[in-house]
Amino acid sequence: MRLKLSSLLAVMGLMCGNAVAATPPALAPNADIRDSGFVYCVSGQVNTFNPQKAGSGLIVDTLAAQIYDRLLDVDPYTYRLVPELAESWEVLDNGATYRFHLRSGVQFQKTAWFKPTRTLNADDVVFTFARIFNRNHPWHNVNGPNFPYFDSLQFADSVESVRKLDSRTVEFRLKRPDASFLWHLATHYASVMSAEYAANLAKIDRQELMDRQPVGTGPYQLDEYRAGQYIRLQRHPLFWRGEPMMPQVVVDLGSGGTGRLSKLLTGECDVLAWPAASQLTILRDDPRLRLTLRPGMNIAYLAFNTDKPPMNNPAVRHALALAINNQRLMQSIYYGTAETAASILPRASWAYDNEAKITEYNPAKAREQLKALGLENMTLRLWVPTTSQAWNPSPLKTAELIQADMAQVGVKVIIVPVEGRFQEARLMDMNHDLTLTGWATDSNDPDSFFRPLLSCAAIGSQTNFAHWCNREFDEVLQKALASQQLASRIDAYDEAQQILAQELPVLPLASSLRLQAYRYDIKGLVLSPFGNASFAGVSREKEEEVKKP
């Protein structure tokens, strides 16, 4: 099959990291897509098609579930681990050894750039994870040595080996027990790649294409990409769960905010991911639309740059926290679709500390404490993403409210809007004082919040925006991983949350509901608390069926 010119130009644009220079064709008219697929509208951009290389963003939140599979999945309703590419698994040596038995007959995608000659086997799993964990692996440094999620967990230092026992059995040996290990392998960061595809690229010395022209075993494969405009996915006809119901999906990246809402109302979009909470009334009142709300495994928070005076003083951090009117944020930003956060863990987490207290709003006390510290007239720089996030539908408006709150206590806040990936937007040059950010995970294990956001290792992996390193805290996290007993882990995580309450490197703000709006004729769309689910079961009702009482 020859590569279409449009697809080739799109891939060239991704390789260069910019939009394609040529004038792109318009999206297929809605009348056409209605016969063969649906349009999914979302804000975001793609910097890589490999979720292992991303800290967050569209590839993790939306695309990974379509292009790739993992060894394990998390049931969106029971929150339990379930088989995916691994049919079964064993936990040995008190959690220091994990053995996986792979599903047979799983086909890789046949694309314009790769024709597989075999089904999934142990070589693919070994290649995938050896590349991540083994710093001496020939593929480890391709497109940079960073694997942000796994780097923040120090997996390169904690995984002793990953080896093939036979064609369908893979064994991971860890240097010490880790009760969270299975949960981390169930995240979209742990998507399984093709070793055969990698070998083909190595033969032509084009290894960099591994992360830019994706090949997976998931229900949909990349067909066309227009930077900043859209991504077209085609059905993987040999998908191991059965042929996906819709032949294609167009992920529309072309507009944000009210533009996306308008497209949903006019039918140009079939699904609107993460609508703004302020749009709920419009969405609920329109009989042509449906709205899904579910608790989300996410947290919005304000990170203090603890590497930079005076933010390195916990007393200053506590004083500034008193100035923020969190109740007003709930009313003005979330419109009843979030819960005020008292911990970095969402309330849905099994390790949530029910004794945790929400920081009080007391501007008079904040002024008094800042004056005692000799900081009556501070100027702070607050870095803020420009697009809506799973944990915050209106980051810039949130920043403006925080700015107004701080002004009441004599602190001037300069808002610095940040476009694109936070990690690449100079956030790690330490010139900022505050960062308005958040985190969402497709894991129900508390470790997927604590270590990526607040461990010492997460500073190097560029996911610890507070630049906070506390050895006692890290030791408590390791204690939590050493036991397979839930009660012991809960005790350790209670201790961790107490340290955070005292030190306050980050101020938790809100845990948001997951929202998704879609046209009335769209069926089978699952909204998971852990991130976007597969589109394989999505279908469109015929118009006459929709009209039936």
Of the candidates 330, 332, 333, 329, the one whose C-alpha atom is nearest the C-alpha of residue 394 is 333
Q: What is the distance in angstroms between the CA of the first residue and the CA of the last residue of the chain?
A: 46
Residues of the chain with confidence (pLDDT) below 50: 1-31, 423, 549
- The β-bridge partners of 164 are 170
Q: State residue 6's pLDDT score.
A: 39
**In this predicted model, what pLDDT tens digit does every residue of 1-43 receive, in sequence order?**
333 333 433 433 443 333 332 333 344 444 467 778 999 998 8
Residue 326 near residue 359 (C-beta atoms within 8 A): yes
What residues does each domain of the chain span? Answer: 5-20+27-250, 298-512
Longest CA span, the chain: 72
Assign domain 5-20+27-250 to its CATH superfamily: Dipeptide-binding Protein; Domain 1 (3.90.76.10)
Q: State residue 88's pLDDT score.
A: 98
pTM score over 0.85: no
Place of tokens 């579930």: 65
For the chain, give the mean pLDDT: 88
Q: Looking at this protein, which amino acid is placed at residue 376?
A: E
Rounded to whole angstroms, the Cα distance separating 197 from 50 reads: 14
Query: How far does CA 291 lie from the centroid of its chain?
Result: 22
Rounded to whole angstroms, the Cα distance separating 239 from 222 reads: 14
Query: How far does CA 65 lie from the centroid of its chain?
Result: 11
CATH fold of 298-512, please?
Answer: Dipeptide-binding Protein; domain 3 (3.10.105)
Q: State residue 260's pLDDT score.
A: 82
Rounded to whole angstroms, the Cα distance separating 442 from 463 reads: 16
Rounded to whole angstroms, the Cα distance separating 83 from 527 reads: 19
> Residue 264: enclosing H or E segment and its boundaries?
helix 258-266
